[in-house]
Structure 1
Amino acid sequence: MLTTVIATSGFLARKYVDKDEKSKKKIKTGLAVLLNISVSIAIILTNKWLYTVVGFPNMTLTLMHFMTTFICLHVCQAFGVFSVKKVPMTSMIPLALCFCGFVVVTNLSLENNSVGTYQVAKVMTTPCVLLIQYYCYGKFASKATILTVIPIIIGVVLCFIYDIKFNLIGTVYAIMGVVVTSFYQVLVGEKQKELQLNSMQLLYYQAPMSAVILILPVATCEPVLQLAYRSWTFMELVPVVCSCLIAFTVNFSIYWIIGSTSALTYNMAGHLKFCLTVAAGFFLFQDPMSANQLFGLILTLAGVVAYSHVRS
Structure 2
Amino acid sequence: MTGPSRTRVSICLALNIISSITIVILNKWIFTNYGFPNTSLTFIHFCVTSIGLHISKELNIFQPKSLPFLQMLPLALTFCGFVVFTNLSLGLNSVGTYQLIKAMTTPCIIVIQTVFYAKQFSFKIISTLIPISIGVLFNSYHDVNFNPLGILFATLGVLVTSVYQVWVGSKQSEFQVNSMQLLYYQAPLSALLLMFVIPFFEPPWRYHGLLYNWSLGALVCVFLSGVVAFSVNLTIFWIIGNTSPVTYNMVGHTKFCLTLIAGLILFKESMNFHQGLGLLITFGGVLLYTHFKLEEGKSNTLPITQQTIDKR
Q: TM-score, normalized by length of structure 2? A: 0.88
- Secondary structure at 1:239 match in 2: helix
Q: CA deviation digits over 1:191-249, x for unaligned, max 9?
A: 01111110000000101111111111223443459455554221111111111111111
Q: Work out whether 1:273 is the aligned partner of 2:273.
A: no
Paired residue for 1:253? 235
Give the CA deviation at 1:104.
Answer: 0.6
Give the CA deviation at 1:38.
Answer: 1.0
1:153 to 112, 133, 137: 133
The 5-angstrom pairing of residues 9-88 of structure 1 reads: 25-88=5-68
- Secondary structure at 2:128 match in 1: helix
Q: CA deviation digits over 1:126-164, x for unaligned, max 9?
A: 100100101111111111100011110111101111111
- Secondary structure at 1:180 match in 2: helix
State the AA in 2 paired with 1:212.
Answer: L
2:155 to 175, 178, 184: 175
Structure number with the higher helix fraction is: 1
Greater shift after overlay, 27-36 or 275-284?
A: 275-284
Greater shift after overlay, 229-238 or 126-135?
A: 229-238
Distance 1:142 1:100 in 2: 32
State the AA in 2 paired with 1:162.
Answer: H
Greater shift after overlay, 161-170 or 211-220?
A: 211-220
Paired residue for 2:304? none
Distance 2:162 2:55 in 1: 30
Give the CA deviation at 1:287.
Answer: 4.2
Q: TM-score, normalized by length of structure 1? A: 0.88
Paired residue for 1:113? 93
State the AA in 2 paired with 1:241.
Answer: F
State the AA in 1 paired with 2:218.
Answer: E
Paired residue for 2:217? 235
> How many pairs does the alignment contain?
292
**Residues 255, 233 of structure 1: alpha-carbon distance in 2 compared, 3 angstrom cutoff:** same
State the AA in 1 paired with 2:156.
Answer: M
Check whether the contact 2:40–2:210 (CA below 8 A) recurs between aligned residues: no
2:177 to 186, 197, 203: 197
Q: Work out whether 1:244 is the aligned partner of 2:223.
A: no
Distance 2:228 2:173 in 1: 26
Paired residue for 1:217? 197
State the AA in 2 paired with 1:265.
Answer: T
**Residues 162, 50 of structure 1: alpha-carbon distance in 2 compared, 3 angstrom cutoff:** same
**Residues 275, 230 of structure 1: alpha-carbon distance in 2 compared, 3 angstrom cutoff:** closer
State the AA in 1 paired with 2:215.
Answer: T
Q: Work out whether 1:293 is the aligned partner of 2:275.
A: yes
State the AA in 1 paired with 2:45.
Answer: H
Q: Work out whether 1:122 is the aligned partner of 2:102.
A: yes
State the AA in 2 paired with 1:52.
Answer: T
- Secondary structure at 2:119 match in 1: coil
Paired residue for 1:6? none
Distance 2:150 2:88 in 1: 8
Distance 2:267 2:181 in 1: 41
1:263 to 245, 251, 259: 245
State the AA in 2 paired with 1:310.
Answer: F
Greater shift after overlay, 94-103 or 50-59?
A: 50-59
Distance 2:85 2:74 in 1: 16
Distance 2:218 2:265 in 1: 30
Paired residue for 2:302? none
- Secondary structure at 2:214 match in 1: coil
Check whether the contact 2:40–2:209 (CA below 8 A) recurs between aligned residues: no
Paired residue for 1:303? 285
Note the aligned Cα RMSD (angstroms): 1.9
Structure 2 unmatched runs, 5+? 295-312
- Secondary structure at 2:63 match in 1: coil
Distance 1:222 1:288 in 2: 31
Paired residue for 2:307? none
Q: Give aligned-pair identity as a percent.
A: 49
Q: CA deviation digits over 1:83-104, x for unaligned, max 9?
A: 0111211111111011000011
State the AA in 2 paired with 1:273.
Answer: K
